[in-house]
Amino acid sequence: MANSLTQRTEEKQSANGSSLLEIEDLKVYYDTINGAAKAVDGVNLTVRRGEILGIAGESGCGKSTLTTALLRLTQAPGYIAGGRIMFHRMDGDPIDLLKLSGEELRKVRWRNLSYLPQGSMNTLNPVLRIKEQFLDVMLEHSDMSKREAEKMIPNLLGQVNLEPYVANMHPHELSGGMKQRVTLAMAIALNSDLMVADEPTTALDVHVQRVVIQMLADLRDRLGMTMIVVTHDMAVHAELADRVAVMYAGDVVEVGDVRQIFKAPKHPYTQALINSIPRIGGERVRLAGITGNTPSPRNWPSGCRFHPRCPHAMPVCSEQAPALLEVTKDLNGMQPPLASCHLYTQAGGNDE
Ligand SMILES: Nc1ncnc2c1ncn2[C@@H]1O[C@H](COP(=O)(O)OP(=O)(O)OP(=O)(O)O)[C@@H](O)[C@H]1O
């Protein structure tokens, strides 16, 4: 028994870095009276086991639409217009999350995928004690008995530095930061493979933000969870993420190691995003904002969707959509970044 447990732990550890989720050509559209809003339009992205993957990009670029789709939580008028989301379980064949039936999905949710939605602290039910809300989640999504689940609650609260008595309180008796930690403890209750956290620090004061960031990093290290953290706040990515995927106009335009993204961004949009972050204690410089407006998902620009705003735009950029490809080979041992930009393709006159 001990041997097989050790073996399983070793299997899990050796799986770190392997693919957990492969998103292939994902399209999520919204039906509107003016036609389809192509909020997520052709996303390809791999999430590796054990990593914190940050998803960055300006408001409206499709971050929430993407993450709700991979949790199969898309709601009308939204719908999945195409693609696959392959989920590699530890103990079974890969499954396409988009093909699961309602019952299969219920089993996978929480057990394999958990979700910390935007403003999650406001999703707590005001009339139920915290303990009852834990039990709802744990009994609905696992084979645990009520007794077993009850025994786990103090430990789960302890994981996020809350005292056991919090279990007997109602949400209105807790501060905002405490409520956020309770929802975090619920998201880890079933020790799922992947946790998706949407804007986990937004609307919290600076001190509480710091506590939540530290806690997420700590939980990943202790529980070996894989996390996707969605936020427009680049400072949160800098502190928390291992890799960052940058979205623009419904697509991922660059994915790379967090150090590379901040030190040597490749895509002109990522460069503009990084240049618009104020530097604390740095020289006083005018912030390089991104000129022009974000395009509408009902009518994306042809070719590269960033070309109307790009300082490096070439004729090819309005004609051909660049693929997301490796753009550099040697980066001091870091995985090469991927970017979709003609500056790095033969069509753009460069094949670096
Ligand atoms: N129910 C809806 N009907 C029509 N369009 C929608 C709907 N929900 C979202 N959209 C559009 O889809 C696009 C992507 O929105 P989404 O919320 O995914 O972006 P986001 O990057 O998460 O933004 P934010 O950071 O502001 O949450 C936006 O243009 C938005 O207007």
Q: Look at 83 and 293; give whichever has higher pLDDT.
A: 83
Measured from the Cα of 232, ligand 1's closest atom is 25
Contacts of 188 (CB under 8 A, 6+ apart): 114, 156, 159, 195, 219, 223, 225
Q: What does the pLDDT look like over 179-205, one tens digit per residue?
A: 988 998 988 888 888 999 999 888 778
Q: How many CB atoms lie within 10 A of CB 111?
A: 16
- Give, using CA atoms, the residue closest to atom 26 of ligand 1: 59
Residue 1 forms part of a structural domain: no
Q: Which two tokens stand for residue 190?
A: 């079933």
d(CA 91, CA 323): 33
Residue 255 forms part of a structural domain: no
Measured from the Cα of 68, ligand 1's closest atom is 18
* Same domain for 292 and 227: no
Domain count, the chain: 2
Give the CATH number for residue 212.
3.40.50.300
Confidence band (pLDDT; 50, 70, 90) for 318? Answer: very high
Strands 226-230 and 251-257, bridge-based pairing? unpaired
CA 62 to ligand 1 centroid distance, Å: 6
CA 190 to ligand 1 centroid distance, Å: 30
Longest Cα pair distance anywhere in the chain, in angstroms?
67
ipTM > 0.90 (yes/no): yes
Q: What does the pLDDT look like over 140-154, one tens digit per residue?
A: 877 789 999 999 999
Q: What is residue 30's three-state secondary structure?
A: strand
What whole-number percentage of the chain has pLDDT above 90? 56
Contacts of 320 (CB under 8 A, 6+ apart): 303, 304, 342, 347
- Do 310 and 340 meet the contact criterion of CB atoms below 8 Å apart? no
* Same domain for 285 and 184: no
* Same domain for 157 and 69: yes
Q: Which two tokens stand for residue 198?
A: 């949407």
Ligand 1 pocket by Cβ (under 6 Å):
30, 32, 37, 39, 57, 59-65, 77-78, 232, 297
pLDDT at 278: 65
Which run of H or of E encompasses 269? Answer: helix 268-275
Strands 19-32 and 113-116, bridge-based pairing? unpaired
CA 227 to ligand 1 centroid distance, Å: 22
* Same domain for 225 and 82: yes
Task: State the residue range of the domain holding 302.
Answer: 269-348
CA 184 to ligand 1 centroid distance, Å: 24
Residue 340 forms part of a structural domain: yes
Residue 263 forms part of a structural domain: no
CA 269 to ligand 1 centroid distance, Å: 19
